[in-house]
Amino acid sequence: MKQIPAPLWTLTIGVIVTLVSLWVGFNNDWLPEQASAQSVLVDNFFNVMVVIGTALFLVVEGTIVYCMVQFRRRKGDDTDGLAIDGNLPLEAFWTAIPAVIVIGLGIYSVQIFQDMGGFAPGDQVHEHGTRLAQASTAPLGDLTAAEVDEALLAQSVYGIGAPLDKEGQAADLEVNVAGMQYAWIFTYPNSGIVDGELHVPVNADVKLNISANDVIHSFWVPQFRLKQDAIPGKETELRFVATKPGTYPVVCAELCGGYHGAMRTQVIVHSPSEFNNWLEQRTAQAETGTAETVAINPADLTDADYLAPYGKAAGVESHLLAHLSD
């Protein structure tokens, strides 16, 4: 039987590895559902990395298994193996390929970051190739160049701004977000509404002005694929478009204290009519001065009160939780 040429084997294995990698990369179900316009961009990048990672895994592990079988020690063979000192072309090859992959992924990630608005948070403009937030109109003539740069940076806004196709346009909805130990407070500036949950309409361009009252927090919505730090004394921005009505968790992704794990709330994405109804209802409550608790500090609760919701979900009776304070 005629032996199959090595180039044909290489081509066949290459085709199989490519097809398997493409299938795994674009048919995995490893991430939460997509619920924002930005999530599509992030997931596409993730899928490309999975394709590359799968291909590398198959090639490396396949080579290891092949060598274990092909070059195993045969019974009765006590001779030494071949003295292989090095292979410059092979070493150059396995150095160049990862370098090209890393550079390509780096360029692609920068493009994704730009498309999401990461290079233009706030009302930013170009200045000597660097994007800086528009400074105040205070006279800067008496300052040195370094002092001017420091003043501009002090007033800059960090985060994810408008995507390229909406750069310079005002958002459809603007909400102020304050992080504190251990709650998120959402304020709607134009209506005076203060809430412990974020309510937004579907397919609306939403801008969050994020701040922190005490320590660093991190505003994260996994289904939106967006995360932005809340920094004391520094305003940050997060701009997004929710594409699917529903309720999604808001998680603090920065260790902020003893009750960090309880710093959770939710973002509720309404249809336009439902959002208008909610807005009218809450505006009416604000006008009549109806009091409403928007957040409770877990540190002010007893152990039993804090654990009560979790005990109920776990089927633990309340009288058992009461013994925790004894």
Give the type of residue at 120: A
- Residue-wise pLDDT tens digits, 61-118: 999 999 899 888 888 888 887 787 888 888 898 899 999 999 999 999 999 998 888 8
- Residue-wise pLDDT tens digits, 17-76: 999 999 999 998 899 999 999 999 999 999 999 999 999 999 999 999 998 998 888 888
- Answer yes or no: pTM beyond 0.75: no
- The two tokens of residue 221 are 């919505």
Give the number of other CB atoms < 10 A from CB of residue 205: 20
- The two tokens of residue 66 are 């092949």
- Closest to 59 measured CA to CA, from 122, 8, 17: 17
- Go through the domains of the chain in sequence order and give each one's CATH number: 10-68+98-116 (no CATH), 158-295 (2.60.40.420), 297-326 (no CATH)
- Residue-wise pLDDT tens digits, 118-155: 877 765 433 333 333 343 444 545 566 665 555 555 55
Question: Is residue 326 pLDDT above 60, yes or no?
Answer: no
Residue 188: pLDDT band (50, 70, 90) is: very high
Q: What average pLDDT does this structure show over 225-248? A: 93
Q: How many Cα atoms within 13 Å fall on the side-chain side of residue 62? A: 11
What dihedral do alpha carbons 107, 113, 114, 118 form, nearest 10°? -140
Give the type of residue at 237: E
Instruction: Provide the pairing of β-strand 264-270 with 198-201.
Output: parallel
Identify the pLDDT of residue 162.
77
7-11, 76-80, 305-309: which has the minimum mean pLDDT? 305-309
Identify the pLDDT of residue 53.
94
CA 254 – CA 184 distance, rounded (Å) = 13
**SS3 (DSSP) at 323:** helix
φ/ψ of residue 230, rounded to 5: -105, 115
Do 241 and 253 form a contact (C-beta atoms < 8 A)? no
- Residue-wise pLDDT tens digits, 268-296: 999 999 999 999 988 887 666 555 556 56
Question: Is residue 1 pLDDT above 60, yes or no?
Answer: no
In sequence order, which residues have a C-beta less than 8 Å from that of residue 228 and are 6 or more positions away? 159, 160, 208, 210, 218, 219, 220, 236, 237, 238
CA 156 – CA 161 distance, rounded (Å) = 12
